[in-house]
Amino acid sequence: MSSSPTKTTFFRRLAFAAAPLVVLLSVWPATRAHADIFSVFTNLFNTVTNTLGGPSSAIDSASSQQLQFLTNTIYPQSLIDQLHSSISTTSTTYRPWMTSVMALPTNSATAASSRQLESATRGGSSVPPSQLQTSFQSTYGPPVSTKGASPFTQTVTDMSDSQALDVFSLTSASDFTASTLISQSHMVEDSGAAIAPGNADHAALQAKALELYSAAIRHKLLAANLRLESVELANTTGAIKQQMVHPVPASTYLVSGSSASITAGTSGSANNQPSTQTAK
């Protein structure tokens, strides 16, 4: 009997507590957003797709256009592959032929001493003048002794020999350098058959450096040729000076054939002039 009022009191209290909530829910205005909880996610999705979807589509379009520009203009893969194939084909075609042409034997000396000198200067290695001294003297003779010629002849022949040795040595060095340049040029060609467009400028600069190096070698050879011309001119003028100081046959001096003939003709005319006047 005592437990029934307690249970009644508990349910009564629960009913009193729930009554305000029931009243609140009955009078609360029903809206679409609260009536359907999934409409919140629908609104969120619409906001993302409608408000942010436009800029996102524009970004995607710009990225697609940029990719198309890169693949069609900056880095056309098909054209690059075609170019690489063309370089490989060209190098494979002409390189063996050029190698065989440059390897053709062009030595023409027949005497033993001259063959030795020619082989030393055209052997494909840089040879200093000191190593050419023996074969050079065997071909062109040893230096003139002090008892066998005048000081002028000794000086002229010594200067001519030294310049000739220098040029022989320089030509051997130029042949060696040419072989090195050819090997490096082959490397540039091989890299061109597989190089990426972004590295093309580096390969072009390397090729330009090799071209400048080759031009420098040509200038050294030209300078050597000018030195030989200077020595020949100095020998000719020296012979004329000696003829004026010591009138002797021009064939005594070591000069070129044309210079000797001219000098001889001049000295002959000078020597015959007094006799002609006497005969008159």
Looking up tokens 């030595």 gives: 107
Average pLDDT, integer, range 210-229: 89
How is residue 80 written in tokens? Answer: 């690059």
Higher local confidence (pLDDT), 97 or 277: 97
- Report the Cα 19 to chain-centroid distance in Å: 96
Considering the entire predicted model, what is its pTM?
Answer: 0.55
H or E segment and range at residue 51: none
Gap between the Cα atoms of 119 and 139, Å rounded: 13
% pLDDT > 90, the chain: 3
How is residue 217 written in tokens? Answer: 């070698």
**pLDDT of residue 256 exceeding 50:** no
Do 105 and 120 contact (CB within 8 A), yes or no?
no
**pLDDT of residue 276 exceeding 60:** no
Which pLDDT score is estimated for 2? 47
Do 220 and 170 contact (CB within 8 A), yes or no?
yes
| Average pLDDT of the chain, as a whole number | 75
Which pLDDT score is estimated for 266? 45
Gap between the Cα atoms of 26 and 29, Å rounded: 8
- Report the Cα 187 to chain-centroid distance in Å: 10
Q: Per mean pLDDT, which range of 10-19, 118-127, 170-179, 251-260 is the poorest?
A: 251-260
Do 122 and 172 contact (CB within 8 A), yes or no?
yes
- Report the Cα 157 to chain-centroid distance in Å: 42
153's CB contacts (< 8 A; 6+ apart) are: 144, 252, 253, 254
Which pLDDT score is estimated for 270? 42
**pLDDT of residue 105 exceeding 70:** yes
Which pLDDT score is estimated for 7? 52
Which pLDDT score is estimated for 23? 54
**pLDDT of residue 254 exceeding 70:** no
Which pLDDT score is estimated for 280? 34
Which pLDDT score is estimated for 249? 61
Which pLDDT score is estimated for 183? 87
195's CB contacts (< 8 A; 6+ apart) are: 203
**pLDDT of residue 16 exceeding 50:** yes
Average pLDDT, integer, range 226-242: 88
